[in-house]
Amino acid sequence: MRFLLVAVGGAVGAALRYLIDRAVQARHDSVFPWGTFAANVTGSMILGALTGAALAGAAPESVQLLLGTGLCGALTTYSTFSYETLGLAESGARFLAAVNVVASVVAGLGAVFLGMTLAQAAFF
């Protein structure tokens, strides 16, 4: 059953990542990987909220597997982030590559913190 929860969450997360990426990139005429950035920050906020809910005892293991491991695991993508950052650097957009690294880490950590804080406020 655990495997199935992770698999279903992963299938939804992967499709959602693709849809977010395409929707965001279609609105930006830029080499900056806004779609991956948006998917990663969104997944970070969801995982933060889930963690806050779990710490409050409001998210059972099944929800953690479905949403945390499955959905967020597939929604967020370190490999695509790395690939796109390397692509920026190799194409001469080294400043944008550095911005992508710093902004992704800062925004991802901020999103986890915000999600966790909101969930804890809601459940404590």
Binding residue positions for Na(+): 73, 76
**Domains in the chain: boundaries:** 2-123
| Neighbour-count burial of 7, counting CB atoms closer than 10 A to its CB (0-12 exposed, 13-18 middle, 19+ buried) | middle
Binding residue positions: 73, 76
User: Stretch 48-67: mean pLDDT, rounded?
Assistant: 97
What's 32's DSSP letter?
A: S
Q: Output the average pLDDT for the chain.
A: 97
Residue 124 has pLDDT above 90, yes or no: no
pLDDT of residue 97: 98
Report which of 42, 24, 41 is spatially closest to residue 33, judged by C-alpha positions.
24
pLDDT of residue 52: 96
